[in-house]
């Protein structure tokens, strides 16, 4: 979902930030499913579609990798703590890579044989 602001000066835009609708507090509901297309491939996977309630609350990922410096500047000083603590960073990284590899292999196995668009 994109939000366009009518009154802005192009030079004032510093970066783009991804926000997610606060579906939990807004009590948005699942309205159906949609088929997932991965790059040019049709897949048999489906994902739920959400009917968003018109509540203007959005969540900003302050841990975003993209434009991290600018997004951190928006976060009030008292919220600059890091609530997630990983005792063994190397082990956590290895585990994440293993999960990504497994996920990639599973997706690759599922999409083989599907037609291209
Ligand atoms: C993940 O995949 C990469 C690329 O295929 C490979 O080099 C790496 O060893 C794999 N790592 C793990 C932890 O499975």
pLDDT for 42-61, tens place per residue? 899 999 999 999 888 888 88
Q: What pLDDT sits at residue 8?
A: 73
- Is the minimum distance from the CB of 97 to ligand 1 under 6 angstroms? yes
Ligand 1 centroid to Cα of residue 93, in Å, is: 12
Structure tokens at 7: 């009154």
Is the separation of the CB atoms in 41 and 107 below 8 Å? no
- Is the minimum distance from the CB of 94 to ligand 1 under 6 angstroms? yes
Q: What pLDDT sits at residue 113?
A: 58
Please state, in angstroms and rounded to a whole number, the distance separating the CA atoms of residues 12 and 102: 42
Q: What is the dihedral of CA 101, 106, 107, 113, to 10 degrees?
A: 130
Q: What is the dihedral of CA 97, 100, 101, 102, to 10 degrees?
A: 120
Q: What pLDDT sits at residue 105?
A: 92
Structure tokens at 103: 């996920």
All structural domains of the chain with their residue ranges: 12-110
- Is the minimum distance from the CB of 101 to ligand 1 under 6 angstroms? yes
- Is the minimum distance from the CB of 98 to ligand 1 under 6 angstroms? yes
Q: What pLDDT sits at residue 73?
A: 86
Structure tokens at 4: 């366009």
* pLDDT tens digits, one per residue of 29-38: 999 999 999 8
* Positions of the chain with pLDDT lower than 50, given as ranges: 117
């Amino acid at each position: 979902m994109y939000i366009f602001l009518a009154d802005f000066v192009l030079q004032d835009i510093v970066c783009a930030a991804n926000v997610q609708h606060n579906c939990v507090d807004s009590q948005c509901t699942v309205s159906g499913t949609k088929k997932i297309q991965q790059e040019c491939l049709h897949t048999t996977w489906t994902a739920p579609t959400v009917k968003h309630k018109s509540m203007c609350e959005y969540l900003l990922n302050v841990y975003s990798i993209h434009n991290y410096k600018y997004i951190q500047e928006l976060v009030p000083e008292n919220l600059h703590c890091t609530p997630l603590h990983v005792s063994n960073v190397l082990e956590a990284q290895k585990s994440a890579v293993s999960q990504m590899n497994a996920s990639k292999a599973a997706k690759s196995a599922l999409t083989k044989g599907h037609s291209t668009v």
